[in-house]
Structure 1
Amino acid sequence: MADAPEIREARPRRSVADEPVTSVLPGGDVPFDPTHEFDADEEVLAALGYKSEFKREFSLFSTFCVSFAVLGLLPSFASTLYYGMGYAGTAGMTWGWIVAMVGIQCVAMSMAELCSSMPTSGGLYYAAAVLAPPGWGPFAAWITGWSNFLGQVTAAPSVNYGVSAMILAAASIQNPDYVPTNYQTFLLTVFIMLIHGVMSSLPTRWLAQINSGGSTFNFIALIIVIILIPAGTDRVARGLPKFTPSSEVWGTIYEGTSFPAGVSVLMSFIGVIWTMSGYDSPFHLAEECSNANIASPRAIVLTSATGGLFGWFLQLVVAYTVVDIATVLDSDLGQPFAAYLMQCMPQKMVLAILALTIIAGFAMGQGCMIAASRVTFAYARDDCFPLSRFWKQVNPITQTPVNAVWLNCAVGILCLFLIFGGSLAIGALFSIGAIAAFVAFTTPIFIRVFFVGNRFRAGPWNLGRFSIPIGIVASAFVILMVPILCLPSVTGADLAPDVMNWTCLVYGAPMLGVIIWWFVSAHKWFKGPKVNIEHMMLGREGNLVEGVESKANDSGSDIVRDSKAIEATGKGVTEVK
């Protein structure tokens, strides 16, 4: 990794076996450019088939900051309180959160292991292509990529919708005669989206500083709110005990659905899953992070663990202080978190907490747009989208994928028209984010566990002998939750279009279209992740190189790819099978 220049002159091409990554390059060689001294991160990325196109100005801390800002515990909790509290009550918020976090943490650790082995902006999409059985790589990448894109592109609009709803709810608290309308919520959300589009187009160094500040504020605001709610509650002045008895908090399941209590608790996991779905951001920022195959997986696990712990603390203080769940859900304020605060806090304190949550939500939305733009850029780089040549361009001034930012911004604004379909319609954005993200998260994990097994070549951060058991738990958790998240809250004669869970349609229809597109056309031209560096072994354009093999690492484990061919293109080579 840190060879001296004279060694490079004696052996101009390094073996990928010397790099702690799972390579796709033929023969395991890193391209050699006598005019450029490769640093450790560039060697790792070159072994994966890409040239460095971003400045590596994210550290472990700044990467964690972006990820934690995308996680946005406080605004995420406020935006999804309707599901976490409304489906199963306080029981779902207390021990239900713990159960959900076991599965989520397993997903995060398995993802971190993949990130250490393949630290690219393509992330999960790249891993699915490399690990899939021969001939299935492009299809695995296609499904993973599009599902991840749907999760990423709906993240910013759903977060910003929650922020707008809180802003307008605060206005209603100040002026009880004011009732927010759908078009006001829509216009305010669009305005916030445009601001985030401008901010996300800035240079990487500025983005790192902005997100460090935003994440720091997120964390401080979360701590303040966790302390402020139990300290400032005025339940006693309202003739209630200061806190609800533990037996009631932990033992009472609110009948918020027509399903049995156990299923209702599982349905309440949508709040946990959506809140905790931002920890993949370090994977997508790996090409902008220094020491990526160590720092990025650490940031993934740190984000998930920190978010899970502090998110549970927030759940606890709300569960012990809520007065009437039904009133929270049916409030005219249109925002359950604001309605909850009005039940147990003085008005000035309510407005203060809402202000902290709104600012934290603004930072979260901007972090979501940054992460989404990197995903779009990575997929466009491999021609996954129509007009990919535009979306994969890196702005020469800012050195960031500005075109990808504005594509995501436009798609997000179109999604916001769901606001006019009512609360359940716009609520589908949250379910889509949960399902789409976790399908993308788990597809390469499932392939790695059940198809690659012990042949997986782990990076420097790995789970050792616990890798496969943890991967099995992660896969089982997601397989269980996908159908659960599509269930409506009511059944039988009470099920009507206005109370239907539209997730299966809003997520399923695009994914069905993507699958049809694959079999009709895309399988002919989409060949998965592309190598966009000129590899000196290939010779002139058009040559075919037989086999793709990464040699065994020091522990003897390896992953061998029996690809039939690597076809050279003007920009590099593309994995065919």
Structure 2
Amino acid sequence: MRSSLDATADEALARMGYKSELPRNLSMMSILGLSFAIMAAPFGLSTTLYITLADGLSVTIIWGWVFVTLISIAIAASLAEICAVYPTAGGVYYWSAMLSTRRWAPLMSFIDGWLTLVGNWTVTLSIIFSGGQLILSAISIFDETFVANAWQTVLMFWAVMLFCALVNIFLSRWLDLINKVCIFWTAASVIIIMITLLTMADDRRDGEFVFAHFDASTSGWPSGWAFCVGLLQAAYTLTGYGMVAAMCEEVQNPHREVPKAIVLSVVAAGITGLLYLIPILFVMPNVEMLRNVASGQPIGLLFKTVTGSAGGGFGLLFLVLGIMLFAGIGSLTAASRCTYAFARDGAIPGFKLWRKVNPTLDVPVWAVILSATVDGLLGLIYFGSTAAFNSFTGVATICLSTSYGLPILISMIRGRQDVKGSSYSLGRFGYVINGITIAWIVLAVALFCMPVTLPVTPESMNYASVVFAAFASISIFWYFVYARKHFTGPPVSSEEARAATDLMTGTALDTEQAMEAVKKMPSD
């Protein structure tokens, strides 16, 4: 039986132009856990460690992480401010429409929707693919001659993707518990790894190495630019917090709980990452040995070297692999909800299928299948070029960052009028925080198209700009073939959407109009 809070949220959603089809069974703690899972600080920092080993080492690892954490908090706060006003599964693409004028709303919504969709798909792809690589790297802990070939890597990636898809489809009612368990698993893992490394290490680095050592000699870049390129490690890890806006329709009081979860998850991930990185730097073995790991994933060798045994190294790596599974499940959940929401507005080819919600499972099953299938097919690029695949990390960061930046920029251009009444208003600091956000995103787009090291070869080239252009071409083609005449963006005006938020916050008393809207909505 639905609670009165569920009913009010559903009525408010109706005023925003949508029929509630997903059960509101997720709590704020669950959304916090989901966002925390997607960022998966220990896992993300482990799989991208090769970047900062070349581009600056300790200074980039520690202070780059602190810098990007502070920037990410500013972005998260800017998104939370808007989310509190327009809490729907459409997330940033819905916000872009609501914050724009009526003339520009469809185009802004369409552009941001595709940025969000591609960002969600590619961040899921990069998480699960690097997870498959990390699983295979565990074998090399016991057999140092083992190097996974392309087929083994892709098959492992498909296996992990299939597992995450099956959990999302058949165990969706347990997602609330899974997301909460993720918080405790991650916290416990960081504590165990920290204690184990510091107590078992035979040799320890000094504080100067951990907090002040800078070495970009192998990057080929000038020192300052090497530090900037190395920020990709932190930026990639701290990038998925905005994805959980797609879960607004599965939460009670989404206008209050989801914005809170967005900001708190970044703070929690920032602290967790720092607690994970500092012990690793204190016990870091020979850096050149880590740079030359054949699998490109040095964390397993680091754990093995410090603990002095293959079993000990695998035990610590197992904890990180557990975090990876939570991240894979969570990212696919958010990606499928983003796909479902965008299809609901007719913006994706075949949208009538992707927007369907299975009435038995209460899950947009076809949206899950589409997200997993697109990622599975993109993984085939690994057969042609490992560098091309690695570019998806950059694409995910670029797409999500720009998708976050567009509604924030629109809000600034229009005088931040729509967010002045937000329950999470940034107040007089709004322009400054929003401005810092936009400046960082512009820099990030340029940075994350750069190769990690110089000189550039076909194998080391960063193809992020090429992949980004390919997705942009597809979206532009679809816009002129179909969307230009048929896509109108969200079905209500910003005034109607704000009235819906007033209903949730208790400032609107009349629900008759909303109930009538629910009755008129099609069942599919």
TM-score, with structure 1 as normaliser: 0.82
Within 5 A, what are the aligned runs for 1:285-296? Answer: 285-296=247-258
Cα 1:141–1:317 shift into 2, 3 Å: same
Give the whole-Å Cα distance in 2 for the aligned partners of 1:49 and 1:459.
Answer: 20
| 1:59 and 2:59 matched | no
Contact residue 230 and residue 452 of structure 2 kept, 8 A: no
CA distance in 1, matches of 2:312, 2:415: 54
1:378 paired to 2:346: no
* Aligned counterpart, 1:194: 162
**What is the Cα deviation at residue 256 of structure 1?**
4.0
CA shift at 1:85, angstroms? 3.0
Tell me what 2:303 maps to: 341
Match of 1:244 in 2: 206
| Equivalent position of 1:464 in the other structure | 427
Query: Which amino acid in the other structure matches residue 319 of structure 2?
Result: L
| Compared CA separation, residues 549 and 154, structure 1 to 2 (3 A) | closer
- What residue is the counterpart of 1:132 in the other structure? 100
Change in 2 beyond 3 A, CA 1:453/1:229: same
> Is the alpha carbon distance of 1:157 and 1:550 closer, same or farther for their aligned partners in structure 2, counting shifts above 3 Å?
closer
For 1:95 and 1:403, how far apart are their aligned partners in 2? 42
Assess, with a 3 A threshold, how the Cα gap between structure 1 residues 510 and 335 changes in structure 2: closer, same or farther.
same
Taking the TM superposition and a 5 Å limit, the aligned residue runs for 1:486-505 are 486-490=449-453, 494-505=455-466
CA deviation profile, 1:270-301 (whole Å, cap 9, x unmatched): 11111111212431111101111111111001
Name which one, 1 or 2, has greater alpha-carbon Rg: 1
Change in 2 beyond 3 A, CA 1:40/1:85: farther
Conserved? CA contact 1:67–1:303, under 8 Å: yes
Q: Closer, same or farther in 2 for the Cα pair 1:299/1:456, shift >3 Å? A: closer
Structure 2 CA distance for aligned equivalents of residues 481 and 267 of structure 1: 9
1:478 maps to 2:441: yes
Q: 2:271 aligns with which of 302, 306, 309?
A: 309
Aligned residue type for 1:62: S
Q: Secondary structure at the match of 1:39?
A: helix
Aligned partner of 1:322 among 284, 293, 299: 284
Structure ranking higher on relative contact order (CA contacts 8 Å, 6+ apart): 2
SS at structure 1 position matched to 2:84: helix
C-alpha separation in 2, matches of 1:230 and 1:178: 28
Give yes or no for contact 2:210–2:282 (8 Å, CA) kept in 1.
no
Paired AA for residue 475 in structure 2 = V
Is contact 1:66–1:281 with CA below 8 Å preserved after alignment? no
> Letter of the aligned partner of 1:341 in structure 2?
F
| TM superposition score normalised by structure 2 | 0.90
Partners of 1:214 and 1:360 within 8 A in 2? yes
> How big is each residue's C-alpha offset from its partner over 1:293-343, in whole Å with a ceiling of 9 and x where there is no partner?
111111001100110121122222222322333321221244122233344
Following superposition, the deviation at residue 247 of structure 1 comes to 5.1
**Per-residue CA shift, 1:524-554, capped at 9, x if unaligned?**
11111235xxxxxxxxxxxxx999695798x
Give the letter for the 1:501 counterpart: N
Cα contact 1:72–1:275 (8 A) shared by 2: yes
Q: Structure 1: which amino acid aligns with 2:84?
A: S
SS in structure 2 at match of 1:453: coil
What is the 5 A alignment of 1:149-548? Answer: 149-202=117-170, 204-235=172-203, 242-246=204-208, 249-347=211-309, 348-490=311-453, 494-519=455-480, 521-530=482-491
Deviation at 1:426, TM superposition (A): 2.1
- The one-letter amino acid paired with 1:135 is R
**SS of corresponding position for 1:154:** helix
Distance 1:227 1:363 in 2: 23
1:101-152 per-residue CA deviation (whole Å, 9 max, x = no partner) reads 2221111110111111111000001000111233111111111111111111
Higher helix share: 2
Deviates more, 1:400-409 or 1:415-424: 415-424
Distance 1:291 1:546 in 2: 20
Q: Aligned AA for 1:349?
A: G
**1:326–1:251 Cα change, 3 Å:** same
- Contact 1:128-1:144 within 8 A present in 2 as well: yes
In 1, Cα distance between equivalents of 2:29 and 2:495:
39
Letter matched to residue 497 of structure 1: P
- In structure 1, the gaps of 5 or more residues are 1-35, 236-241, 532-544, 554-567
Partner letter of residue 278 of structure 1? G
Deviates more, 1:515-524 or 1:144-153: 515-524
Distance 1:185 1:140, change over 3 A: same
- CA distance in 2 between counterparts of 1:38 and 1:161 reads 37
1:364–1:455 distance in 2 versus 1, CA, 3 Å: closer
SS at match of 1:495: coil
- Compute the displacement of 1:489 (Å): 3.4
Cα distance between partner residues in 1 of 2:91 and 2:168 = 20
**Residue equivalent to 1:539:** none
Distance 2:496 2:27 in 1: 32
Report SS of the residue matched to 1:430.
helix
Cα separation, 2, equivalents of 1:528 and 1:344: 55
Q: Distance in 1 between matches of 2:238 and 2:497?
A: 36
Instruction: Tell me the amino acid that sits aligned with residue 431 of structure 1.
Output: G
Q: How many pairs align?
A: 503
Q: Distance in 1 between matches of 2:179 and 2:416?
A: 37
8 A Cα contact 2:13 2:88, kept in partner? yes
Secondary structure of 1:507 counterpart = helix
Distance 1:211 1:142, change over 3 A: same
Q: Secondary structure at 2:358's aligned position in 1? A: coil
Identity %: 27
Native 8 Å contact 2:138 2:317 kept in 1: yes
Q: Which amino acid aligns with 1:384?
A: A
Structure 2 CA distance for aligned equivalents of residues 294 and 134 of structure 1:
27
- Measure how far apart 1:521 and its partner are: 4.3
Measure how far apart 1:182 and its partner are: 1.5
3-state DSSP class of the match of 2:416?
helix
Q: Contact conserved, 1:114 with 1:458, CA < 8 A, in 2?
A: no
Q: Verify the 8 A CA contact 1:225 1:353 in the aligned structure 2.
A: yes
Shift of 1:72: 1.1
1:457 to partner: Cα distance: 4.5
Partners of 1:55 and 1:204 within 8 A in 2: no
Task: Tell me, in whole angstroms, the C-alpha distance in 1 between the residues paired with 2:350 and 2:238.
Answer: 32
1:364 to partner: Cα distance: 1.1
In the alignment, the residues of structure 1 paired with residue 154 and residue 289 of structure 2 have an alpha-carbon distance, to the nearest angstrom, of 25
